[in-house]
């Protein structure tokens, strides 16, 4: 038996981006949604790894390196710079009403 916690339907904006740094290719799906406190849902199309990213997460180099299994801090810093253009500066909003 299970207890349903939520079942939401939403039309979302999805963006697919591919780019290269000095020696690495990246392919991401970016889902803009009203869920998840305004954070973006980022999916690496190569590995299937996904995460929610807000402004604070984008600036956390170690987090990006860990979640996307990047080989160096330099790679994570490049990814951080790229994501900083995608993530809105004000991403936290009330998702649940009391």
Q: Concatenated DSSP letters for 65-92?
A: HHHTT-S-HHHHHHHHHHHHTTS-S---
- Give the model's pLDDT for residue 90: 61
**In Å, how far are 18, 74, 78, 79, 85 from 22, measured between CA atoms?**
14, 11, 10, 12, 19
% of the chain beyond a pLDDT of 90: 65
Residue 63 carries which DSSP code? H
Mean per-residue pLDDT of the chain: 88
Mean pLDDT on 6-30: 92
- Give the model's pLDDT for residue 16: 98
Assess contact for 20 and 26: CB atoms under 8 A.
yes
Mean pLDDT on 30-41: 91
Assess contact for 36 and 51: CB atoms under 8 A.
no
Whether the predicted pLDDT of 39 surpasses 70: yes
57-74 per-position pLDDT tens digit:
999 999 999 999 998 999
How many other β-carbons are positioned within 10 Å of the β-carbon of residue 44? 16
Domain boundaries, the chain: 13-84
Whether the predicted pLDDT of 4 surpasses 60: yes
């Amino acid at each position: 038996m299970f207890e349903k916690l939520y079942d939401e339907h939403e039309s979302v904006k999805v963006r697919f981006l591919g780019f290269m740094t000095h020696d690495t290719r990246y392919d991401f799906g970016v889902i803009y949604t009203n869920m998840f406190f305004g954070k973006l849902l980022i999916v690496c199309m190569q590995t299937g790894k996904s995460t929610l990213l807000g402004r604070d997460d984008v600036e956390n180099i170690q987090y990006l390196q860990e979640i996307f299994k990047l080989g160096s801090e330099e790679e994570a810093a490049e990814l951080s710079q790229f994501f900083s253009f995608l993530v809105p500066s004000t991403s936290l909003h009330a998702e649940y009403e009391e």
